[in-house]
Amino acid sequence: MTTPIEYAVRNPATGELVESFPTATDAEVRAAVDAAAAAYATWGRTSALADRVALIRRVAELHRERQAELAAAMVEEMGKPLEDAEGEVDFSASIYEFYADNAERFLADEEIALGEGEGTAVVRRTPVGPLLGIMPWNFPVYQIARFAGPNLTTGNTIVLKHAPQCPRSAALQEQIFRDAGFPEGAYVNIYATNEQIADVIADPRIQGVSLTGSERAGAAVAEIAGRNLKKVVLELGGSDPFIVLSTDDLDATVDAAVFARMDNAGQVCNGGKRFIVLDELYDDFVSRFTEKVLAASESSPLSSATAADNLATQVEAAVAGGASLASKGERNGAFFPSGVLSGITTDNPAYQQELFGPVAMVFRASDEADAVRIANDTPYGLGSYVFSADPAQAQRVADQIEAGMVFVNGVGLDAAELPFGGIKRSGFGRELGRFGMEEFVNKKLIRTV
């Protein structure tokens, strides 16, 4: 017996139920896996790389041609500002183009120098088979691009389960792959339940799982995958530190910090969330930062009223635990007022949490070593930001940060060629760049005498 999930477009700005999509039956889920397995027999085993590259390039073109339709879906599904949604589609197209441009180089045979003996040895990168992707709601198009782009180009096939609140985005993207000319079953979208997904993971034909989502979801998927000896790539969010050590332009640093926190209404996995400032800069930074955060109170809602409820619970618990909150405006459905929390002690519940929304936490550090200590005192390890006018200091601190990514003196620097992923409870594995293409390939040794 499966537990129903509501796949529906519910506009978070109004609360209006716009459109519902039927949850897949067990037979439909089995048929999706059957189709992906059947497609792999030809797509993965016999198709030419040049043909796969041409189709991925066509996917990029179709994203740009259908930018307005995809962006409108994101606005209505999860409240993303239109300009941001359009930018997301364009970035996603660039990811597909990146893999089209670089696949031949990334997948080329790698010769191994032999220590002794005659003959040759090469590592040949080949696909592994059908994969399952489980995607979140905060970037409905970009998240799929960074999973589908490298893996379809490699020759794997994909079964895709999107977030229940993004069913229209899911359908539009499946149609793009069909219209681009991909064979039936190469990319299959399913509106599945959690129980059905557990069965898909366990299916011996599925060779790997990629999930972006919560710790709870990641742990559940990893447990099932582990029992069935399946590789997983997990990106589970973070509470990224934004460290301010010194600056030649405090206003510019504050502006970068505001963007790091407020982008996508604060719903970015690797957005700056904990702002750690040296003592001599703290008061001035926090004053300017708070003013600009409150002035930048989002005109767009969070992804849902439930998301706003969850953030409200966290903020209320933080204040009850002794933190001070500077805020502006009132909660209204999915619209959440921006705010800055200070005075957070190590025993405050917010200290170890990720706040997913337009609320920042600020911390005073006595010196560089203290800043590093606070930055690393978290169960997460996705991204981080280091701002310093001293290049040697910036690199020294970057080396000490326990995270998968460190951005020095800049924000919004994600790119198709840069690997994305974390450590600790932020997950493991990488997406994007050459490393994203390495996750689900068979690095097959061929030794010839």
Active-site positions read 235, 269
Q: How deeply is 419 buried, as exposed, middle or buried, from its count of CB atoms within 10 A (0-12, 13-18, 19+)? A: middle
**3-state secondary structure string across 34-72:** HHHHHHHHHHCCCCCHHHHHHHHHHHHHHHHHCHHHHHH
Containing H/E element for 114? none
CA pair distance 132, 99, nearest whole angstrom = 20
- Name the nearest CA neighbour of 86 among 53, 115, 63: 63
- What phi and psi, each to the nearest 5 degrees, are found at residue 263? -55, 135
Structure tokens at 50: 């040049």
DSSP H helices, 203-249, are: 215-227
- Specify whether the CB–CB gap between 52 and 153 falls below 8 A: yes
- Name the nearest CA neighbour of 240 among 220, 270, 263: 270
Total number of residues shown for the chain? 449
- Name the nearest CA neighbour of 235 among 432, 1, 423, 27: 423
CA pair distance 213, 304, nearest whole angstrom = 16
Q: How deeply is 48 buried, as exposed, middle or buried, from its count of CB atoms within 10 A (0-12, 13-18, 19+)? A: exposed
- Specify whether the CB–CB gap between 147 and 93 falls below 8 A: no
